[in-house]
Amino acid sequence: MDHVKLVNDPIDIAHIHQLLADEGCGASSVFVGTTRDNFQGKKVLSLAYEAYDSMALKEMNKICSDLRSKWLDLKHIVIYHRLGTVPVCEASVVIAASSPHRSEALESVSFAIDQLKTRVPIWKKEIYEGDNDGEWKENKESIRPKKSKSGFNYAACPCKVEESHDVPRTLVQIRVNDAELTKRLECFVNRKRDEINSQNVIDFKSSFVSSDKDLSDSCARTQSTIIKQEQSNCHLKVRRVNNRCGPQQMEMRPNYELELNKLMGSRDGQTDPIKEMRKSLPNSRLQAIESYMGLTTDNEENIFSRIKRVENRLLQLESISPEYRHFTKREPSSMEAAPPKKIRKKSYSAQELSAFIQKIKDGSEFS
- Determine whether the annotation assigns residue 262 to a binding site: no
Distance CA 87, CA 317 (A): 83
Distance CA 310, CA 297 (A): 11
Residue 5: beta bridge partners? 80
Distances (CA, A) of 101 to 24, 58, 63, 65: 10, 28, 20, 19
Torsion of CA 309, 313, 316, 317, to 10 degrees: -170
Distance CA 68, CA 77 (A): 9
- Determine whether the annotation assigns residue 117 to a binding site: yes
Buried b (16+ CB within 10 A) or exposed e, 197-212: eeebeeeebeeeeeee
- Determine whether the annotation assigns residue 101 to a binding site: yes
Distance CA 112, CA 71 (A): 12
Distance CA 126, CA 44 (A): 7
- Determine whether the annotation assigns residue 70 to a binding site: no
End-to-end CA distance of the chain: 107
What is the C-alpha radius of gyration for the chain, rounded to an integer number of angstroms?
Answer: 48
Distance CA 105, CA 80 (A): 17
- Determine whether the annotation assigns residue 309 to a binding site: no
- Determine whether the annotation assigns residue 140 to a binding site: no
**Residue positions forming the annotated binding site:** 101-102, 117, 124-126
**Residue positions forming the annotated binding site for substrate:** 101-102, 117, 124-126
